[in-house]
Structure 1
Amino acid sequence: MITNTELEYKGNLYPTRILSFKKEVDKLFFFTENDVILELTVIRDRVLRFRYATEGVFEPDFSYALAKEASRGYNHLDVEEADEEYIVKTGKLEIRILKENLRVRVFDLEGNLINEDELGFHWEENYEYGGNIVKMSKGVREAESFYGLGDKATHLNLKGKRLHNWGTDQYAFGKDQDPLYKSVPFYVGLNHKTAYGVFFDNTFKTHFDFCQERRNVASFWADGGEMNYYFFYGPSVAEVVTSYTDLTGKPELPPLWALGFHQCKWSYYPESKVKEISGKFRELQVPCDAIYLDIDYMEGFRCFTWNKEYFSDPKRMVKELKEDGFKTVVIIDPGIKVDKDYWVYQEAKDKDYFCKRADGPYMRGKVWPGECNFPDFTHPDVREWWAGLYKELIGDIGVKGVWNDMNEPAVMEVPTKTFPLDVRHDYDGHPCSHRKAHNVYGMQMARATYEGVKRFAYPKRPFIITRSAYSGAQRYTSSWTGDNVATWEHLWIANIQVQRMCMSGMSFTGSDIGGFAEQPTGELFARWIQLGVFHPFCRVHSSGDHGDQEPWSFGEEVLNITRKFIEMRYQLLPYIYTMFWRYINDGIPMLKPLVYYDQEDNQTHYRTDEFIFGEKILVCPILEPNAKGRRMYIPRGEWYNYWTDEVVSGGKEHWVSADIDKIPLFIKKGAIIPKYPIQQYVGEKEIKELSLDVYYKKGKEQSAVYEDGQDGYDYKKGRYSLRTFKLTGRKNELILQQHKEGKYTTSYEKIKLCLHGLPFKVSKIEFDNEEVAFEKVKLNGDNSMIIDKDFTELHIIGE
């Protein structure tokens, strides 16, 4: 009999020899001498779940992260017992489990090692709180790289870093500061051009070490709960990210206006100030779809109230803003003011919905209203009640979106900045302390908000934004990266964070453009706008302490640059909407770091600045003052400079000129980029013409444009339009083929084709195999033409 003393190493305990094994459909159980059980579940041929119990008993199996609609089912599962190990085979993987110590190695079917346990699973008694500190260590191979983990403000490649997940209100955080607002315990490993992923579904405080403590070891551990992780096999980074996103879920389509430009400040009040801002946008012709109201719209910061001195008739104001094209988004925080005359407080108290300390009293903490109690959003009845509170805001007053802030949860005037750890939570019928519920508190608040806004916005789609999140929150909400600073370093951080969030399943993310704290220069604001319009969520937000941060606050030059790029955003709305459609259907991130785009090229593994926007647009922000351009890496292939139509070959660094009014921007050869006319807000104009920018390529390329009613749910009943374009370029001809599906009829009848890089002069045009006279397609000297939207094949022939 092996004693615990013999198993200990630096206080850790380890599994001993496997005694027995059993199989139950898709679950395999391995039992050891010292009562450790490994439950291996084959979810799909390339997706595995590893779950460990240390005293022969598993905890109840429950997760907030997993999507109900996640794909399950495999093609093959076979288990073989050898002398020294068990060999498990799926349709894609071979898993070898050592009998001696339960350590796991994962191979592909060609016998190539993908990932292996180093010490593997081990644990340590948590004498302070009870239960275990659970740990896993993995061997790392030479040149292995790591990506993911949500909003970390550090280099995109995490090799050499140690990071932590514990949602924290980090006002004016800095580069490499950790932890931040979100907890996304998922990472991608890439070695020898093979990618895999690990999702550690544990909501306690979690820790990740990517070769910082030990050079060839990656480890992750949690301060409580189970060792419960999912393993995803690529071999591409794209397949790993898609598998993880499928497991944790995808959002529904947002209303198209949510992808427009939003303006926010702490705070716009009274009503006359809101009207002044909205009027200025329309006067200066800067497109904008949403105005945000921060905490000062409330009566004494009490949620679900209005300050009648500032906003005497909110319903009328919201209606008038709507008539001018502005949707109103309001902030709602979790802290409910302790005030017996405040109806929300009294309701929650009467229903016993507030979080309690271990010994029974309600947990109290100071936030904006002063002394507050906090709803337990991990209780389904509390979520249902909270959802119902939105009836007046959304259903009666007509607010279009809700912004959840301070939901880490943040508490002022205490060193920990959050709830005491002994606070109790229902956790959907699995009662626990705040140690376990902390990282999901903000997600469950956003979930309750989503359910309420969706109910009362119906038949329109909801729009929610959150600061704090856990894996799977993307099912309910968009997000932003928190209280950043108006510095060039933070412009760099914003670029990294949004790329990382997109790789971590949460694409609908952006930063506070211009910086929340402090005041940007006009140059910094211009450069940040140039980046922000290429982020899925596009909002200017500032604390207002240091001055104004509207597009016109920095003089005419910056105003003109800002207008130019926001107009570009509105032109690209069909392209962005199509990106979102790919995200919700296939789990493809809206923004792709270069390593995602081309992992075969080792040069991409440490690139941080450049990214692919959607499928076809390469973006690289200017991150330094006084710059007239920059060196950037252009990935393999051939790309058109957006501003000059010059073609450059990738796979190397290039100097790219970009004065203050430009950002380095390239279009993939063969791309077809859909554009709408410039609008001051979504729905201002009926779309009479879709423009397609066609970038000639010798060879083949496919592009698509997805459209629907832009709001509402008819798209789920087939009322959408998906146009797939296949481009074929030859020496003296260009062929465009269109395939259409869906029952939605677009408002436009014509398509304007703008041809870029055509290497020949057009001599003949055939439309569905019939020659067309030039005057019928209005062929212009700039190589543009107008054609019927329902063409099947367009044949452009050169001299």
Structure 2
Amino acid sequence: MQVATSSGKYSIKHYPDTIQTWKKEGNYFYFYTSTTILELRVISDKIVRFRYAADGQFQRDFSYAVSEKLEESPEFFDIREWADSFEIITTAIRVFVSRENLRITITDIDGRIINQDETGFHWQYYLQKGGKIVYCTKLVQEGEAFYGLGDKATELNLRGKRLENFGTDSYGFSKDTDPLYRNIPFYYGLHNGIGYGIFFDNTFRTLFDFGHERDDVSSFWARGGEMNYYFIYGPELLKVAESYARITGTAELPPLWALGYHQCRWSYFPDKKVQEIGKTFREKGIPCDALYLDIDYMEGFRCFTWSKEGFPDPKGLLKDLAQQGFKTVVIIDPGIKVDPEYPIYKEMVEEGYACKRADGALMEGDVWPGKCVFPDFTNPKVREWWASLFQGLTDTGVRGVWNDMNEPAVFELGTFPEDVRHDYDGENVSHRKAHNVYGHLMSKATAAGLKKHLMPHRPFVITRSAYSGTQRWSSVWTGDNIASWEHLWLASVQCQRLAVSGLSFAGSDIGGFIGEPDGELYTRWIQLGAFHPLMRTHSASNDTGFDQDPWSFGPEYEAVVKSFIQLRYRLLPYLYTTFWQYAAYGTPMLRPLAFVAQEDENTHDLNHEFLMGDSILISHVSEKGMKEKSVYLPAGTWYYYFNDERFSGGKAVTVPTPLAEMPVFIKGGSVIPQYPDMQYVGERQIMEMILQVYHGEGTTHSILYEDAGDHYAYKTGQYNLIRFKQTSEAQHFRLKKKFVGRYEADYLHHRVKVHGLPFKPTEYVVDGEAKPLQPQHWVNGIVELLLERQFEELILR
């Protein structure tokens, strides 16, 4: 037995010794050494949880991340004893536990190593803070790449990096700033074509080393809590992402308008300014669905109030905006102003809802209103109370809420001191354990309140800080970025990383929050943002009075910006279908090329290219004055969106990048559903759904999901799934459509546009009825047909 030292911050490290006994209880296996217990739980054939009791005593098995819907579903599992190890086998993997020291080796059924401990689990006393620091070290496999960890502002492949999760208000962060706002302790490994994931469910400050200290070793550790991690086998990276969503939960479908364009700044003030912004959007014909109100709409920055001077008639204002098609989103921060005349402060103090210091004093700190107290969102009673406060806002007409400053951020302190106490759903812990879930639980309470008081409408929530599982109720944005080309690059990388970390509903402050972009930078950012799940322009106030609006940079830029926002709205059926895939299965909406072509090593270190959904590849213009760009295309056939030029993948191609275009490619064999042009969701009845069909080789499949775009009838079967099957031969093209569902869509027709046919057909056959192709059916080399919505098969020959 090793003995802890009596001085210094840390003690010496302790390692498990020989397994003395073991037992099996259902799908749980327990291995006992003289000091350590390993609990191994087989959740499915590809998901195994490892949990260690460092001193023989497990802590409470409780998680704010794990979904209540997680079910155990292994097809088969068994245990075998060998001279040097125990082997737990499923239909997909083998887990070997060393008798000597509890070290873990995981292989596939054929014996190929997926993941392997180096020293594995070990720990030491944290003498200065209390508790234990728990570690796990793994061997890095040959050529291994690492991905994930949420919003880290660095290259997608994390190999060679050391990173930290401790939610931080990182105003004006730059490349490689760490830590940032979100705390997502989940990463992927990829080597030899094998993908896996590790989710380290620990809310203390956690750290990850991917070959930084030693190039052949990766490790993760926490300054408190348990070593408790889930191992997820793919082998496909997208399957790992879906399994992670199975553990931490999937998103609900948002209202369709939330996938439209959002306009925000700090601050639109007073009400006449908000009306002016809305009026300008409609006069210029630039689509927009959401307008945001920052902190100045409040009375002295008091949450859940309205400025008597700037917004004397908020209900009338929001009603007027709604009649023009705008949804209003308002900011709510956690800081509650210290003011005995302020009812929310008074109730917080009287009911004991505010966070307190270790000696019982209220946790007070300066934020926008001045001296503030802060709700303890780890207390379920506080979350219920907080949710109740949103009725006043929803009654006024608010349709969405923006939670900011919830790392939590405190001006003079940075964040809460570590001695602040939290209920933690009955556990009573220090801020060290609660810090990384504070914003997570604030947004959870906010979403619960909106969901209740907006019924039957679906809520929209956006939060700055988050923990694993926040995707179940909120969207996120990348934080207080800067108007620079570096931050345009970061926006692309961060949103890709957030997507594969479970938080697909993400975007950046288009144009940059800090500083002023020029017209070129703003336009290129809009182009990228058009393909992010959340599309929002946001900027800070400044002395010049500059407004960062789509028309702020002159007619040339305005025209291009307008065209890409219009493209965004035309693509809403495709984006909504992609969101449905994310909500139903946990499939990331944005997919780095390494996640769709992991067998191609050329994709492992790519940062610029990604797929939005199944079929649209994006590579944004990332430098000022760029005239052309080299884009790597995965294997297959690809069409350049703006002129239908056809490319073969598996290599890089170069395309021009005039201001009015960016590299956008459509995967051959895809069906891309589109709406006609609109100014906002619900503006008018949609009379036809456009199907952009791109010729592919062999047999391909696409899908369209549709429902009412709001309300909850889809949960009782009021939706449609339309599956397309495309088959192509030398002089023959066939598109079959299979329709399942009970939703009555408005449109009566499909306008089918077939791109890239390698032959010139002379007739088309719809559900067995043949007709000759007429000259009017050819539009710029594209076959265009207007068909009944109910058609089942189209043949061109």
What TM-score do the two structures reach when normalised by structure 2? 0.98
Q: Which deviates the most, 759-768 or 138-147?
A: 759-768
> Which SS does the other structure have where 2:602 is aligned?
helix
1:536 aligns with 2:537: no
Residue 220 of structure 1: aligned partner: 220
The aligned amino acid for 2:425 is D
Q: Does the 8 Å CA contact 2:264/2:537 hold for their aligned counterparts? A: yes
> Which SS does the other structure have where 1:304 is aligned?
coil
Residue 458 of structure 1: aligned partner: 455
Q: Does the 8 Å CA contact 2:165/2:182 hold for their aligned counterparts? A: yes
CA offset digits 1:103-156 (Å, max 9, x no partner): 111111111111111011010101112110000000111210000000000000
Residue 308 of structure 2: aligned partner: 308
The aligned amino acid for 1:308 is K
Residue 176 of structure 1: aligned partner: 176
Residue 330 of structure 2: aligned partner: 330
- Shift of the alpha carbon at 1:90? 1.4
The aligned amino acid for 1:700 is T
Hey, what's the Cα distance between the residues in 1 that align with 2:406 and 2:775?
Answer: 59
> Which SS does the other structure have where 1:308 is aligned?
coil
Q: 1:651 to 1:517 in 2, by over 3 A?
A: same
Q: Does the 8 Å CA contact 2:67/2:247 hold for their aligned counterparts? A: yes
1:567 aligns with 2:566: yes
- Shift of the alpha carbon at 1:71? 3.7
Residue 611 of structure 2: aligned partner: 612
Residue 476 of structure 1: aligned partner: 473
Residue 138 of structure 1: aligned partner: 138
1:717 aligns with 2:716: yes
| Count of matched residue positions in the alignment of Structure 1 and Structure 2 | 790
Q: Which deviates the most, 307-316 or 9-18?
A: 9-18
Residue 503 of structure 1: aligned partner: 500
CA offset digits 1:67-109 (Å, max 9, x no partner): 1112421011111222211111112111111111111111111
Residue 32 of structure 1: aligned partner: 33
What TM-score do the two structures reach when normalised by structure 1? 0.98
Hey, what's the Cα distance between the residues in 2 that align with 1:71 and 1:441?
Answer: 26
1:186 aligns with 2:183: no
Q: Does the 8 Å CA contact 1:122/1:135 hold for their aligned counterparts? A: yes
Q: Does the 8 Å CA contact 2:4/2:11 hold for their aligned counterparts? A: no
Hey, what's the Cα distance between the residues in 1 that align with 2:108 and 2:759?
Answer: 48
The aligned amino acid for 2:471 is Q
- Structure 2's unaligned 5+ residue stretches are none
Q: Does the 8 Å CA contact 1:778/1:786 hold for their aligned counterparts? A: no
Q: Does the 8 Å CA contact 1:464/1:478 hold for their aligned counterparts? A: yes
> Which SS does the other structure have where 1:701 is aligned?
strand
Hey, what's the Cα distance between the residues in 1 that align with 2:770 and 2:83?
Answer: 74
1:14 aligns with 2:11: no
Hey, what's the Cα distance between the residues in 2 that align with 1:214 and 1:75?
Answer: 38
Q: 1:750 to 1:779 in 2, by over 3 A?
A: farther
> Which SS does the other structure have where 1:656 is aligned?
strand
1:425 aligns with 2:422: yes
- Shift of the alpha carbon at 1:467? 0.3
The aligned amino acid for 1:772 is K
1:584 aligns with 2:578: no
> Which SS does the other structure have where 1:745 is aligned?
coil
Residue 744 of structure 1: aligned partner: 743
> Which SS does the other structure have where 1:583 is aligned?
helix
The aligned amino acid for 1:44 is S
Q: Which aligned pairs between 1:342-381 and structure 2 lie closer than 5 A?
A: 342-381=342-381
Q: 1:73 to 1:675 in 2, by over 3 A?
A: same
Residue 491 of structure 2: aligned partner: 494
Residue 515 of structure 1: aligned partner: 512
Q: Does the 8 Å CA contact 1:640/1:666 hold for their aligned counterparts? A: yes
The aligned amino acid for 2:784 is S
- Shift of the alpha carbon at 1:792? 1.2
> Which SS does the other structure have where 2:137 is aligned?
strand
> Which SS does the other structure have where 1:470 is aligned?
coil
The aligned amino acid for 2:582 is Y
- Shift of the alpha carbon at 1:755? 1.4
CA offset digits 1:460-503 (Å, max 9, x no partner): 10100000000000001000000000000000000000000001
1:693 aligns with 2:689: no
Hey, what's the Cα distance between the residues in 1 that align with 2:627 and 2:689?
Answer: 34
Q: 1:252 to 1:777 in 2, by over 3 A?
A: farther
Between the aligned residues of both structures, percent identity stands at 53
- Shift of the alpha carbon at 1:761? 2.2
The aligned amino acid for 1:60 is R
Residue 384 of structure 1: aligned partner: 384
The aligned amino acid for 1:520 is P
Hey, what's the Cα distance between the residues in 2 that align with 1:775 and 1:314?
Answer: 57
- Shift of the alpha carbon at 1:39? 0.4
Q: Does the 8 Å CA contact 2:79/2:86 hold for their aligned counterparts? A: yes
The aligned amino acid for 1:429 is G
- Shift of the alpha carbon at 1:661? 1.1
Residue 637 of structure 2: aligned partner: 638
Hey, what's the Cα distance between the residues in 2 that align with 1:53 and 1:697?
Answer: 55
Q: Does the 8 Å CA contact 1:777/1:786 hold for their aligned counterparts? A: no
1:290 aligns with 2:287: no
Hey, what's the Cα distance between the residues in 1 that align with 2:432 and 2:272?
Answer: 45
CA offset digits 1:34-81 (Å, max 9, x no partner): x20000000111100000011211001000000111242101111122
1:595 aligns with 2:598: no
- Shift of the alpha carbon at 1:776? 13
Q: Does the 8 Å CA contact 2:777/2:783 hold for their aligned counterparts? A: no
- Shift of the alpha carbon at 1:762? 2.5
Hey, what's the Cα distance between the residues in 1 that align with 2:421 and 2:691?
Answer: 56
> Which SS does the other structure have where 1:182 is aligned?
coil
- Shift of the alpha carbon at 1:775? 6.8
- Shift of the alpha carbon at 1:350? 1.2
Hey, what's the Cα distance between the residues in 1 that align with 2:334 and 2:387?
Answer: 13
Hey, what's the Cα distance between the residues in 2 that align with 1:713 and 1:322?
Answer: 21
Residue 266 of structure 2: aligned partner: 266
Residue 96 of structure 1: aligned partner: 96
Q: Which deviates the most, 74-83 or 571-580?
A: 74-83
> Which SS does the other structure have where 2:195 is aligned?
strand
- Shift of the alpha carbon at 1:704? 1.0
> Which SS does the other structure have where 1:611 is aligned?
strand
Hey, what's the Cα distance between the residues in 2 that align with 1:670 and 1:27?
Answer: 45
- Shift of the alpha carbon at 1:381? 0.4
CA offset digits 1:247-300 (Å, max 9, x no partner): 101111000000000000000010110011111000111000000000000000
Q: Which deviates the most, 699-708 or 530-539?
A: 699-708
- Structure 1's unaligned 5+ residue stretches are none
The aligned amino acid for 2:138 is K
The aligned amino acid for 1:512 is D
Q: Does the 8 Å CA contact 2:11/2:127 hold for their aligned counterparts? A: no
Hey, what's the Cα distance between the residues in 1 that align with 2:376 and 2:234?
Answer: 38
